Structure 1
Amino acid sequence: MNRQDDLAAEGEPEQEFNPGIAGRMPRKTAAGGALIRDRDGRILFLEPTYKPTLDIPGGIVEMNESPYEACCREVREEIGLVLEIGRLLVVDWVPASGLWSDSLAFVFDGGVLDGDTLTLDPTEARAHHFLTLPEAAPRLRPSMTRRLTLAEQALTTGIPAYADFGRPV
């Protein structure tokens, strides 16, 4: 089945029990990222053009797109590879900060690259690096370091993690 068939099987959408309430409900953003490694276990980090810290390939979920679909799309756009994105490693709630609303960050297993040539989108990333987490940590936000630590643990244990701002719950 496809998504349209699944939606049709759900039946008619619920009616609002209180007119206008749906428009007043809070909205969260979501992002999907891939933990991609090289044969030595180092993580692929990008130097984004739009922020000062390193990041993993991935990005914001678009309207009516799942976090997994966003991860696949963003990996393709940012590094020019169509990868088989694997299982969920981490879901992390990120609190609101400044102009940004709170969000959910999903990290998926991006697998291991074996000599693949990356083609960076110059509007998204100026460079890439394969680094261990301790090597990358000085150039990451602390919450990202915590989130990726949980992702590496999930690779080993096979158990996905839920976190609040990178701290396991």
Structure 2
Amino acid sequence: MNDFWATVNRVIAGAAAYITDEKGRVLLVDPNYRDHWNFPGGIIDAGEHPAQACAREVTEEVGLELEVGRLLTVAWVDHAPGLPYPLVNFMFDCGEVASDVSITLQAEELDDYGFFTVEEAGRLLASHAHQRLLAAVAARESGATTYLAPGQDRLVGQ
């Protein structure tokens, strides 16, 4: 039995928050350990489910305690810089906050934050993360959950 588990594919599981302001701009953070901006979120810890990880990461990274809403997107990322395994990321709708909300950055990991339009975010995010943003926007509007396959430039099911 132990030989079997040694051969099973491994993935990294992450959870992220789609948070917008009153103008519909998305909240992004600037990690000090990556070349690109990203969504508040991170790796799911042992014993957590994705929504719990999302809530924990939002509180840790930006100091906000928000209700984690419905699942907007699931994305599979085959290869990303620095990742030893594929990544499956769950993005949840964490609602709207005022653009002047008090943000407390996790100084050990983050250098900055901001609210950005989809177009502005496209210049800051890695391409797979920008696709996740487009999927989240569409999912919030439609009420459907979307799935992003590796290298996908359109949404599955649309």
TM over 0.5: yes
1:165 Cα offset (Å): 3.0
Indicate the residue corresponding to 1:14 in structure 2: none
For 1:42, which of 22, 25, 36 is the aligned residue? 25
1:82 maps to 2:65: yes
What is the rounded CA distance, in whole Å, between the counterparts of 1:166 and 1:151 in structure 2? 17
CA distance in 1 between partners of 2:138 and 2:54 (Å) = 20
* 1:118 aligned to which of 103, 120, 124: 103
From 132, 137, 141, give the equivalent of 1:147: 132
Residues 95 and 38 from structure 1, CA distance in 2 versus in 1: closer, same or farther, beyond 3 angstroms? same
Aligned CA RMSD, in angstroms, stands at 1.5
Q: Which residue number corresponds to residue 33 of structure 1?
A: 16
Please tell me whether the aligned partners of residues 146 and 166 of structure 1 are also in contact (alpha carbons under 8 angstroms): no
Deviations 1:90-129 (A, max 9, x none): 0000003455210101110011002421111111211111
Q: TM-score, normalised by structure 1?
A: 0.84
Normalising by structure 2, report the TM-score.
0.90
Distance 2:80 2:40 in 1: 22
Residue 20 of structure 1 and its aligned partner are, at CA, apart by: 2.7
CA distance in 2, matches of 1:40, 1:59: 25
* Aligned-partner residue type, residue 120 of structure 1: L
Unaligned runs of 5+ in 2: none
Query: 1:24 Cα deviation (Å)?
Result: 2.4
What is the Cα deviation at residue 19 of structure 1?
4.9
- Aligned residue pairs total 152
